[in-house]
Chain A
Amino acid sequence: EVQLVESGGGLVQPGGSLRLSCAASGFTFSSYEMNWVRQAPGKGLEWVSYIGSSGTTIFYADSVQGRFTISRDNARNSLYLQMNSLRAEDTAVYYCARDYSSSSGRVFDCWGQGTLVTVSS
């Protein structure tokens, strides 16, 4: 069974840092591109970041560029999001999502259960 399990969320003060992890199982992690998507309380979905299967291609949303760093460890089947200089508006549930790409395009076909990040003093 394909499974993604996020961890590392919690309460952090504005300006602080946090590192999220996403543990993958049930598929060949190193063959898939991955994303982070977040959802503020009671709000919609916002794409945060993308990383290619080897980790060399990376993209960020403008809202987190320069503050967040996505990375992966294919040997550990894990995806990470290092979040620095956190702001109140970063408060959200953070999901990791598998990126399935084909000749038709790409789609997020599997999502984790999410981890809540709260930025507050």
Chain B
Amino acid sequence: EIVLTQSPDFQSVTPKEKVTITCRASQSIGSNLHWYQQKPDQSPKLLIKYASQSFSGVPSRFSGSGSGTDFTLTINSLEAEDAATYYCHQSSRLPHTFGQGTKVEIK
């Protein structure tokens, strides 16, 4: 099973600040890495697919990068509505696995 490790687990950020979340895979997964946003009492929503492709309708302040084992989700100029938990997900091989999540709080 491919293990995904996110860091940090928690981040408290001021609006307009830049946020960087990393996801490291236990083995190479190419670009089969996706990022989801989950707000309290809501289902996950796709933000970034295949490491760096923005999903339809997602604000341009969200971007992704990386390949192989190391990936990054960046939120430029954080807004209050971005308070959520962010998960990475690998679809390179079964079983699908997810990172443990990074909770982003607005100061």
Contacts and interface: CB of A to CB of B under 8 A. Distances in A.
A61 B66 CA distance: 27
Nearest to B32: A105
Contacts of B50: 104-105, 107
Contacts of A112: 43
Contacts, number: 61
Nearest to B101: A44
Interface residues of A, number: 22
Contacts of B87: 44-45
Nearest to B56: A109
A113 interface: yes
Contacts of B44: 45, 95, 108, 111
A73 interface: no
Given A107-B49, A108-B46, A50 B92 contact: no
A21 interface: no
B43 A95 contact: yes
A44 B100 contact: yes
User: Interface residues of B toward A: which range?
Assistant: 20 to 34
Interface string A63-78: 0000000000000000
Interface of B: 30-32, 34, 36, 42-46, 49-50, 53, 55, 87, 89, 91-92, 94-101
B98 A45 contact: yes
Contacts of B34: 107-108
A45 B97 CA distance: 8
Contacts of A109: 46, 49, 55
Contacts of A47: 95-98
Contact of B43 (A44, A50, A106, A114): A114
Q: Which of A61, A108, A112 has most B Cβ within 10 Å?
A: A108
B43 A111 contact: yes
Nearest to A99: B91
A106 B95 contact: no
Contacts of B42: 113
A75 B100 CA distance: 37
